[in-house]
Structure 1
Amino acid sequence: MFEAGDIREWRGHDVVDPGGRKIGHLESVYVDTATDSPSFATVTVGLPTRRRLVFVPLDGATVGPGYLRVAHDRSLVKRAPSIGTDDVLPAEDEPGVFAHYELDYVPGVKGERRLARP
């Protein structure tokens, strides 16, 4: 699991893949509602006139001076489900985010959503 003193401090820093290739900038972090731990990040990608936010898991992520290194390849992350820069992830789209990374999706006990922004 990703550990950082205050994840909000990392907003705007570069997000890179395991090979050090820049993916984009960290926009926000989603926590797992079952554990309240950071689970996914959104990364700003795209051209200045067509920016979007893609989701990437934080499992295996590490921090360095000015960057967050995720465990997934840049091309996989850039093809991930996305939302507009002013949008919120709809609950019905959560399973697709998990499926893109071949992760199991289990909603909350009462069917509540799995990801939330703190």
Structure 2
Amino acid sequence: MIEAADIREWRTHDVLDSGGRKVGVLESVYVDTATDEPAMATVEVGLPTRHRLVFVPLDGAIVGPGYVRVNYAKSLVKGCPAMGVDNVLPAADEAAIFQHYGLAYQPGAAGERQLARR
């Protein structure tokens, strides 16, 4: 298991897909609000003048020297719903990210968000 404190040290490092291809650069880590465990990361992708952030699950991620390797293909990650680099993820958009990866989305009992940025 990757600890939240550990993975924060890897901001600005390369994110590699399951085949070892560079997807982008790690921008931030989001934890599951129910467990406080790292759940997703935002990855900065795109052209130098048109950057955007996409989410990728951290389940099974491997941290190496200067990179984080995720268990998803580059094409799947880049196709994830995106947001601008200066934006905040709207609560209403969380479910679409989980659906994109075929993961169950479980907001809190009172409708609380499942993801929190760390």
**CA distance in 1 between partners of 2:18 and 2:34 (Å):** 28
Report what 2:17 is aligned to. Answer: 17
What RMSD, in angstroms, separates the aligned Cα atoms of the two structures? 1.1
**CA distance in 2 between partners of 1:16 and 1:6 (Å):** 17
Q: 1:31 to 1:4 in 2, by over 3 A?
A: closer
**CA distance in 2 between partners of 1:4 and 1:82 (Å):** 23
Structure 1: state its 5+ residue gaps: none
The answer to whether structure 1 residue 31 and structure 2 residue 31 are counterparts is: yes
SS in 1 for 2:47: coil
**CA distance in 1 between partners of 2:3 and 2:105 (Å):** 22
Amino acid at match of 1:73: A
TM-aligned CA deviation for residue 33 of structure 1: 0.3
**CA distance in 2 between partners of 1:82 and 1:103 (Å):** 17
Report what 1:92 is aligned to. Answer: 92
Q: 1:91 to 1:38 in 2, by over 3 A?
A: same
SS in 1 for 2:95: helix
Give matches, 1:61-76, under 5 Å: 61-76=61-76
Q: 1:66 to 1:4 in 2, by over 3 A?
A: farther
SS in 2 for 1:92: helix
The answer to whether structure 1 residue 79 and structure 2 residue 69 are counterparts is: no
Structure 2: state its 5+ residue gaps: none
Deviations 1:3-23 (A, max 9, x none): 465222100000001111000
Answer whether contact 2:4 2:37 (CA < 8 A) is retained: no
TM-aligned CA deviation for residue 66 of structure 1: 0.6
Report what 2:55 is aligned to. Answer: 55
Amino acid at match of 2:46: G
